[in-house]
Amino acid sequence: MNKKNAFISISFFLIVLLFSCTKNSATTFKYDATGCANFWDKHYTADTFSLEALNNTIHDFLATENIEVNSIEFEFDSTKVEHCYACHCKTGTVVIINTSCKNKRKMKKLGFYK
């Protein structure tokens, strides 16, 4: 292997190492909420809708999946709104969850993205 290829290989390895997450580090995942096809919908039992009740429902559901949550936030992104009434239509609400990197596979399986 010549010096140029060795340099490129080492540089690539260092970049991957820098941007990979360790199991103990925290990271943020996002989820685009839908009208009624969310992973938490069958667990949501509040009589009235509030962000506090939704926060508690999501937190409780993720706890059953052995996902420890550091924080849950909500934001509205008007570019994600789908103007339809089907359950799969996105509402524009983005759920932002901060959790450990070790939960990456579980979060992606639930529909979260980075």
pTM of the model: 0.77
Q: What's the Cα-to-Cα distance from 92 to each of 29, 58, 112, rounded to whole Å?
A: 16, 17, 15
> Which among 101, 114, 111 has a CA at the least distance from the CA of 37?
111
With tokens 């989820």, the residue in question is 31
37 contacts 88 by C-beta, under 8 angstroms: yes
pLDDT of residue 81: 96
What is the pLDDT tens value at each position of the chain, 114 positions in all? 676 666 666 655 545 544 557 667 999 999 999 988 998 887 766 655 788 888 999 999 999 999 999 999 999 999 999 999 899 999 999 999 999 999 999 999 999 999
55 contacts 44 by C-beta, under 8 angstroms: no
Reduced to 3 states, what is the DSSP secondary structure of residue 93?
A: strand
Q: Which two tokens stand for residue 2?
A: 């010549």
